[in-house]
DNA sequence: TCTACACCCTGTAGTCACTACAGACACAAC
DNA sequence: GTTGTGTCTGTAGTGACTACAGGGTGTAGA
């Protein structure tokens, strides 16, 4: 098999850090295009696919949904590559992340208090269960 | 219907802030006990169920899984109410929350940078798409 | 009495983003 | 010919709900 024929899914998986089942899943839901096949029916990929998959991985890592990723890929493929829509999407993600941060910081505070009141578990009535049993 | 017969699921939902489908779901998976029924087949609840459901809601709000919630309820029902296990669970949750906070803060930084480089979307090549296309 | 309406029932399927598996085929090395 | 690794398809499972469809219950008003 000449190298020009491309790599198979296992190699793509190793090179991109995305696992095989996930790659097939992405193809199935249209995040990745249908890969051409070898005579034996194996999916064949080229270098551009590694980059595309890395793009997906990074976007997912930033918390974009697969719907968003699909749109980002379309925008990246487009000729204009205009920023407006992308800017809005990134801004939306940033707002989500910040909202989540606020939530989690509050949570952290509550949990710290709980754990602190608990001391060493020597009390007859667990203060954590007690706290859960009454309005915060 | 005398008030002593209890409230129905709609009232429980309103009083606890947990939606009806979710209450039934909790019953189905054993987080809540099977509710007794009226002659017409309606689930009937009493005041203690409102408290129990509020407990579940608060625990879920702190990020405990439903498996954890089940265990917490069992511990809360137990006679000892000893702290050790609860303490460990809360500690585990706290560690999760803190790990998530680290992730999200990093994410926030990356997104802030992206949005900042984008400026007003006047550039010919979108820097956000550009950033996604190359190793971070 | 009839009817409208809110409420509730069961059971199933959908969501998101994977992950895991069964059972079969492809291909290279020994 | 056999072994081993890689890959294929298709389906089902995860967690924590949520959303129906298609029916029954109970009550208030005409």
Can you give the pLDDT at residue A83? 78
Chain B segment 5-34 residues within 8 A of A by beta carbon are none
* B109 belongs to a structural domain: no
Contacts of A136 in chain B (CB under 8 A): 58
* B72 belongs to a structural domain: no
Q: Would you say the C-beta of A36 is within 7 Å of strand D?
A: no
Q: Measured between CB atoms, does A105 come within 8 Å of chain B?
A: yes
* B121 belongs to a structural domain: no
Query: Which residues are A7's β-sheet partners?
Result: A45
- From the CA of A26 to the C1' of D7: give the distance in Å: 17
Chain segment B6-55, per-residue pLDDT in tens = 899 999 999 999 999 999 999 999 999 999 999 999 999 999 999 999 99
- On the question of pLDDT at A67 being above 70, the answer is yes
- From the CA of A30 to the C1' of D8: give the distance in Å: 19
Q: Give the closest nucleotide to A44 (alpha carbon vs C1').
A: D7
The nucleotides of chain C lying under 7 Å from a protein CB are 7-11, 16-21, 25-28
The total number of structural domains in chain A stands at: 1
* A25 belongs to a structural domain: yes
- On the question of pLDDT at A132 being above 90, the answer is no
- On the question of pLDDT at A2 being above 80, the answer is no
* B40 belongs to a structural domain: yes
Percentage of residues in chain A with pLDDT exceeding 90? 65
Percentage of residues in chain A with pLDDT exceeding 70? 88
Q: 3-class DSSP state for residue A45? A: strand
Residue A4 confidence class, pLDDT cut points 50, 70, 90: low
Task: For residue A16, give the CATH number of its domain.
Answer: 1.10.1660.10
Domain that holds residue B10: 1-63
Chain segment B119-128, per-residue pLDDT in tens = 666 666 778 8
Can you give the pLDDT at residue A65? 95
- From the CA of B72 to the C1' of C12: give the distance in Å: 30
* B42 belongs to a structural domain: yes
ipTM of this model? Answer: 0.83
Tell me the DSSP string of B37-105: B-TTS-B-B-HHHHHHHHHHHHHHHTT--HHHHHHHHHHHHSSS--SHHHHHHHHHHHHHHHHHHHHHH
Longest Cα–Cα distance of chain B, Å, equals 72
């Amino acid at each position: 098999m000449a190298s020009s024929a491309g790599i198979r899914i296992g190699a793509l998986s190793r090179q991109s850090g995305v696992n095989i089942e996930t790659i097939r899943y992405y193809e199935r839901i249209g995040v990745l295009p249908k890969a051409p096949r070898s005579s034996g029916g194996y999916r064949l990929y080229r270098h551009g696919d590694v980059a595309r998959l890395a793009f997906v991985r990074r976007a997912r890592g930033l918390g974009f949904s697969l719907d968003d990723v699909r749109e980002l890929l379309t925008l990246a493929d487009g000729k204009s590559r205009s920023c407006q829509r992308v800017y809005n999407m990134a801004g939306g993600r940033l707002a989500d992340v910040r909202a989540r941060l606020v939530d989690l910081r509050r949570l952290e505070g509550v949990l710290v208090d709980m754990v602190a009141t608990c001391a060493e578990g020597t009390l007859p009535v667990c203060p954590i269960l007690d706290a859960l049993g009454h309005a915060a």
